[in-house]
Chain A
Amino acid sequence: MATLARLQARSKSIAQQYYYRNSVVDIFRKKENDAAIKIQSWFRGCQVRAYIRYLHRVATIIQKRWRGYLGRQQYQVIVKIQRRWRGYKIRKYCFNYYYLKEYLKAVSETNDAIREALEEFAEMKEREEKKADLEREEKERDYQARKMHYLLSTKQIPGIYNSPFRKDPDPWELRLQKAKPLTHRRPEVKRKRSICLSDWLACTSARSFPRSGILPPIDRKRCQGPFRDISEVLEQRYKPLEPTLRVAEPIDGLTEARAQLQKQEWARNVNDNMFLPFSSYHKNKKYVPTMHLSSKYGPDVYGTQHFRDENPKRWICNKDFQTVLPSFDLFSKYGKMYSKAGQIV
């Protein structure tokens, strides 16, 4: 009941509110409706356009293919000509098949030739090496035979390589027969060393004064006992010093060379003082030139006694120069313009 009463009290205001709210909305209703219609119509237009585009594309493809097919049918002749032309062009200007084949054949022939040549070269090298090896072995054996020549068999005693139980002698036997025996090494004849004053080795050796290389034989009986041969002993005792190359170089080679150079320079140079450029630059001395240099006139010809003298004795002939060809005017008047001073009489 109370609710009903409340509602009835409010009914008027509710009716007003209801009317008011509906009327307010009405202002925008048309606008919003128009807007919705616009959006929907635009969107539908897009859809349709997209569909039309798709249809166009598909139609174009079909037409393209159909026209291509028709064209291919129609223009067979032209295509034939183009085909022949393209083949000709490639064959003539871009790629020569026969030339390529020839080239490859030539390459394979060159290869074979090179392979043969290299094989020959390798074989030649091997042959040379084998030959060198054989020669070396031969030389070795020859040397051995020369050293062992005493093993040669004699008439009485067969040598070890010529055993009586063998049918033929061993090849070494033949080699020994052919070999020339090695001689003992002769004692080397020492060169007579030129003795100079500065050679300290010479003056301290026991053989300072000149005599023969080998001592004369001592004429007496050999003592019994384990004594060595006297000449050997003396040889060993008086064996001169054989310095190595490294030691033989003088220690003071450099200083010697310097001393030599100094001697040369002392003999040659006029002035002993070292040349010092600008040495008196700081001394502030005024430069006083000599009389010769401080005159106005240059140096005279050698032999002139007086300035401006003439020596008629030195003239070749006593005639003046003749004018063969007239000079031009300037020189014809030379010396004659003002005075006769320069004329030769």
Chain B
Amino acid sequence: MDRQFYVFSVMALLRPLLLDVVPTIQQTAALALGRLANYNDDLAEAVVKGDILPQLVYSLAEQNRFYKKAAAFVLRAVGKHSPQLAQAIVDCGALDTLVICLEDFDPGVKEAAAWALGYIARHNAELSQAVVDAGAVPLLVLCIQEPEIALKRIAVSALSDIAKHSPELAQTVVDAGVIAHLAQMILNPDAKLKRQVLSALSQIAKHSVDLAEMVVEAEIFPVVLTCLKDKDEYVKKNASTLIREIAKHTPELSQLIVNAGGVAAVIDCIGSCKGNIRLPGIMLLGYVAAHSENLAMAVIISKGVPQLSLCLSEEPEDHIKAAAAWALGHIGRHTPEHARAVAVTNTLPVLLSLYMSTESSEDLQVKSKKAIKNILQKCTYLPALEPFLYDAPPNILKHVVGQFSKVLPHDSKARRLFVTSGGLKKVQEIKAEPGSLLQEYINSINNCYPEEIVRYYSPGYSETLLQRVDSYQPLTN
């Protein structure tokens, strides 16, 4: 309460200074208001409640460029905190004035206006629509073509904030002819600009197949792959996000990315990063492999599976592990070849331990269970299945034994190996309800072997033999 009173009194002091005769005082007062509003959202609300915005907007149209910059700074500082404050800015008619500032000669004024518009459009779709209706998009596209790097960055980030909410807004942005310019700017050496450009393209491409195709037609491949080798971490992250948003729509787009060698580049990028930067790349591999088995095979031959299993084991965060488990599940679920490729890298025990561990989050457990189930249903690589006999929970054990029962009747070497490695013994020890699916599988496995061996390995065989010894009457001569 006390603080609010203090705040309001400050606003009451600053407001008349905005109407001062000397322009320098006006500019400095506006700058002060901007800095106050920037710091805290209470102060920004006080600026709005103090009726300062209409005055600012009115005088924005008339004053010189320093005042325009300061006023745009105030609008940006107020608009960045919450959607309600941004709506208040829109309601006092600031958008038209900001759009007029975008046409100014001074690049500093344009930058301040573009920044304010970007922050307003960031919050939700209605505000973005209001910004678009004010006619900001063509002017922002013109700002992109200016030579100043800072202005380019801000304009691209504003366009990205506009396009991210809905397909219609993205289509509006694309209709202004922005994709060609963005595609050219990927080659710019400035790292922050590349971040924004890649983020803008991914926000456009994520909404629908047509938009993704338009982005691809701008010939971003293979230039985008060079961004995956950039020094800046966030450039790599945004580049892999862009490729992921393109690949997730249809198999044809994923095929295009595979043909351009994008999968190999992304796998190398995953190898060179740590933490959250890897996440879009992992999801890309999952999406590509999910579309069809040929694409999953392409991911496998690009050496994706060892990299994913490395991520699974060494990443500390649960959501990245969950993504890696999901991706591996999609790779391995198509055919026995794929399942074999996944099983060979010894990932299945890791997945099992993640599923069983109590520390993993629910999402991770669900995803690893699904992955294990999907892979096991197609896996015929017995050496990888054997450890499962020992420490798997009953619901997974059912699938493992089922796979054994499918493979063993046809392969004699595998049968021999199964016996010598102690698998048959373990199978005998499994207690299953008679009539259940597990019992049927166990029966079909037992049918592959001669009677004596089954009896030999059944539990308690030594006791029965000893009983026979006890009850045996030697022939007395």
| A residues in contact (CB < 8 Å) with B | 100, 103-104, 107-108, 110-115, 118, 121-122, 125, 246-247, 249, 251, 253-254
Contact = CB atoms under 8 A, between A and B. Distances in A.
Interface in B267-306: 268, 294, 297-298, 301-302
A114 B222 contact: yes
Interface string B249-280: 00000000011111111001000000000000
A49 to B, nearest CB: 30
A180 B319 CA distance: 62
Most A-side CB within 10 Å, residue of B64, B226, B261, B298: B261
B424 to A, nearest CB: 33
A114 B265 contact: yes
Contact of B301 (A107, A113, A246): A107
Contacts of B263: 111
A121 B229 contact: yes
Contacts, number: 58
Nearest to A107: B298
A251 B294 CA distance: 72
21 contacts: A100-B297, A104-B294, A104-B297, A104-B301, A107-B258, A107-B302, A110-B259, A110-B261, A110-B264, A111-B264, A114-B225, A114-B262, A115-B261, A118-B225, A118-B228, A118-B265, A121-B226, A122-B229, A125-B229, A125-B231, A251-B22
Given A114-B265, A121-B226, A253-B64, 6 more contacts: A104-B294, A107-B301, A110-B261, A110-B264, A118-B226, A247-B24
B66 interface: yes
A170 B442 CA distance: 86
Given A110-B259, A114-B261, A104 B298 contact: yes
B340 to A, nearest CB: 15
A131 to B, nearest CB: 15
B62 interface: yes
Interface in B152-167: none
B349 interface: no
B107 interface: no
A34 B60 CA distance: 108
Interface in B83-97: none
B423 interface: no
B200 to A, nearest CB: 23
A115 B66 contact: no
Contacts of A122: 229
Contact of A110 (B23, B64, B229, B260): B260
A246 B261 contact: no
B268 A108 contact: no
Interface in B45-78: 62-64, 66
Contact of B261 (A104, A111, A249): A111
Contacts of B268: 115, 118
A100 B260 contact: no
A127 to B, nearest CB: 13
Given A108-B302, A118-B225, A103 B22 contact: no
Nearest to A126: B231
A115 B301 contact: no
Which A-B residue pairs are the 8 nearest by beta carbons? A114-B261, A111-B264, A110-B261, A122-B229, A107-B298, A108-B301, A118-B229, A111-B302
Contacts of B225: 114, 118
A251 B222 CA distance: 54
Contacts of B226: 118, 121
Interface string B123-156: 0000000000000000000000000000000000
B253 to A, nearest CB: 16
A100 B294 contact: yes
Contact of B66 (A100, A104, A246): A246
Nearest to B62: A254
B71 to A, nearest CB: 15
B219 to A, nearest CB: 16
Nearest to B222: A114
Contacts of B22: 251
A246 B22 CA distance: 12
Contacts of A247: 24
B446 to A, nearest CB: 25
Interface string B341-378: 00000000000000000000000000000000000000
A246 B63 CA distance: 13
B294 A103 contact: yes
A111 B22 CA distance: 66
Nearest to B302: A111
Contact of A115 (B64, B265, B294): B265
A253 B262 CA distance: 57
A107 B229 CA distance: 20
A31 to B, nearest CB: 52
A125 B260 CA distance: 22
Contacts of B27: 246
Interface in B214-254: 222, 225-226, 228-229, 231
A100 B263 CA distance: 18
B264 A115 contact: yes
Contacts of B264: 110-112, 114-115
A105 to B, nearest CB: 9
A111 B264 CA distance: 5
Interface in B6-22: 22
Nearest to B226: A121
A110 B255 CA distance: 13
A113 B261 contact: yes
A251 B27 CA distance: 12
B449 to A, nearest CB: 28
